[in-house]
Structure 1
């Protein structure tokens, strides 16, 4: 309902009413008295009646109003929104489009990626968005979904990590963006950033700890862990390593493949595709291992010649060994971090280390590992101090001779 009100500063009356979802206030030159209020109320009643009938012409009542331009803009926007809404209603459901999109992407994805995305769709995305028209999904829907994910307990009973939530949201972002491009609507994912993920927990072993592990570990796994500690190979890379990728003549490991979900597949990216140089201990470990498994396909395998299952190895060999030695429980992946820190501490070239690790640049190398090798990477000015002391001592000695 509209009303007749007066301005406190001038005492003049004005109309105050709603039209097209906008609050409209139109000033008059009439003083605030019962007679003028009665006249204005009759006009206001007529305005509201026409608004309800859909015949109200704002310009006829208020021809010089500043509201006319604002109302026109609102009318255009409303018409565009209506057209966009009607077009969005013609888009397929999220489930229909998502399944079509996955089918189209199969040609460029590995089987493991197809499996991961399909699992995410069936477990998280389709139950939430499946029946909705893909063009009618809003940013609010996406944010609410992300908020709900943060409340879902994971396998360990704790809330899903930021990294896990980002992995679930990645196919959702790709699907919505692709649908927006095809059906020409604004993606609701626009402006939504990934959750911040805590930095990688790096806990490398010291050389003394590595020596203790290699002295104590089961004999049939000594070569396995020695090679892990001194090459920086990922778990999937060493478990999927085949003898045809081990060049004993050139003393190189050709890291071209990885074992993922029981399947040997090409490495994930170009940086991971590399040749890792063998140190003498690593070379000798491969020679010894060849006597045990050289007739088979895989360097490290079960009695049946099949690849190792990293979960079983970790639970039955790795963690019991750490407990026996009284060492802090750490994931086997820390062997990779250990290789990087030992190389750095030994003074190897950072560029060479980055290539061995499969990093495209040295940036990650120093960002992650520098604090573990203070003698190499610290920036405390000690090197300059030694240089200056040497030079100044030379100058001081020379000046002393001159004075003599």
Structure 2
């Protein structure tokens, strides 16, 4: 860490800092006083700022230092090497081709959209090694002025999502062409925590009572299994095990394509409650000859946007319930299980979480007596002790 220090023999101050991978000490004739330390600290702060921005010139501060020539020679070699590095557009295309083989279709399309819509327009013709921290921060600031299709500014989460490919491209280029990545030290924007909005059991029963009959089984399974939209829309009869009363999550429907579940946690077996078992038995009578459990009139998979627009939101408006995304059915299942006193470890497995930590972090405020952590257990202990004391008297 850069600092202003004093020599032990004559108490003269000197700079101690790192530059281009080397430790540098540059001595002054100033004596060690508070005023002189403050003066040199201001100089040091300016030096560090210029190093961060890539505008620092050693000769401007220490023209008589023997290191000037060393750094100029080193800088010359670096510039020669960097002049042979590609443009951002060229390297981004190479990086995308190399990386996309390990990505899913949806992720590939998402990254390509970010490149085409944002990154290439801003950085495309710049040399990948010439992009500075100032360029990156200016680009991020510009994203805050962009409006989405709804006319709203991009969220912090969306901006971070756009910045991720930029960070990966610049860091990979820095490794290959041996320069310092300008992205170093840039932190992601802080994303406000969003509350989940589960339905109460009374609201769930109201919804199931009034929903279209051909979608009652669909929403029953959604509310009482915590399945994701892509999982229930991609559910096929071959993965419904009535004998063991389990729903096997092996695939998901994403952009009209069946894909394998994204990680080991998502690959799971969900235990059927009696309510879910009966709903699926009824559904089997309707669509048992089709590959998909829940399907359209032609046997094809449901289009979740159409279902949301034509069934879900109109029903909530009709019932006078606050508009919420269908994904809240998953949160509802979690809160109902917790409220019923089910084991957090079991719930985590049903939801596809590797640990129960997220349950406590996300849902605890909706369950006043979650694992009896509301003080009532202690109250009962005191009451029991008092009763025993009185009985002995």
Which TM class, normalised by the smaller chain length? 0.7 to 0.9
- Partners of 2:235 and 2:252 within 8 A in 1: yes
**Counterpart pick for 1:77 among 71, 74, 77:** 71
2:47 corresponds in structure 1 to none
Aligned twin of 2:222: 228
Q: Which of 156, 159, 174 is residue 165 of structure 1 equivalent to? A: 159
Per the TM alignment, residue 396 of structure 1 is displaced from its structure 2 partner at its CA by 3.0
Report the 3-state secondary structure (helix = DSSP H, G, I; strand = E; otherwise coil) of the residue aligned with 1:329.
coil
Match runs of 1:100-249 below 5 Å:
100-249=94-243
What residue is the counterpart of 1:46 in the other structure?
Answer: none
Task: Report the RMSD for the aligned CA atoms in angstroms.
Answer: 2.1
Please give the alpha-carbon distance, in whole angstroms, between the structure 1 residues aligned to 2:112 and 2:306. Answer: 26
Confirm whether residue 356 of structure 1 aligns to residue 377 of structure 2. Answer: no
The CA deviation at 1:148 is 0.6
SS at match of 1:116: helix
Looking at structure 2, the residues matched to 284 and 26 of structure 1 have their Cα atoms a distance apart, in angstroms, of 88
1:367 is aligned to 361
| 1:295 match | 289
Select the residue among 251, 258, 276 that pairs with 1:257.
Answer: 251
- Alignment correspondent of 1:386: 380
Are the counterparts in 1 of residues 199 and 329 from structure 2 also a CA contact under 8 Å? yes
Tell me which of 280, 284, 293 is aligned to 2:278.
284
**Superposed CA offset, 1:80-105 (max 9, x none):** 33332332221111111111111112
- What are the ranges of 5 or more consecutive residues in structure 2 without an aligned counterpart? 1-27, 31-58
State whether residues 341 and 371 of structure 2, in contact with CA within 8 Å, keep that contact through their aligned partners in structure 1: no
Distance 1:84 1:269 in 2: 42
State the alpha-carbon separation in 1 of the partners of residues 29 and 217 from structure 2. Answer: 87
Residues 259-338 of structure 1: pairs in structure 2 closer than 5 A: 259-338=253-332
2:247 partner SS: strand
2: CA distance, partners of 1:256 / 1:104: 28
Residue 382 of structure 1, CA deviation: 2.2
Q: Is 1:99 the equivalent of 2:93? A: yes
Q: Select between 312-321 and 266-275 the one with higher mean Cα deviation.
A: 266-275
Q: Which residue, 335, 345, 348 being the options, matches 2:339?
A: 345
Give the deviation of 1:377 after TM superposition. 4.5
- Structure 1 residue runs of 5 or longer lacking an equivalent are 1-24, 28-57, 59-65
Deviation at 1:26, TM superposition (A): 9.4
Query: 1:67, CA displacement in angstroms?
Result: 5.8
- CA deviation after TM superposition for structure 1 residue 165, in Å: 0.9
Report the Cα offset of residue 378 of structure 1.
Answer: 6.0
CA contact (8 A) 1:93 1:133 kept: yes
* In 1, Cα distance between equivalents of 2:312 and 2:242: 27
What SS does the aligned partner of 1:276 have? strand
1:89/1:136 contact within 8 Å kept: no
Alpha carbons of structure 1 residues 391 and 136: separation in structure 2 relative to 1, 3 Å: same
TM-score (norm 2): 0.82
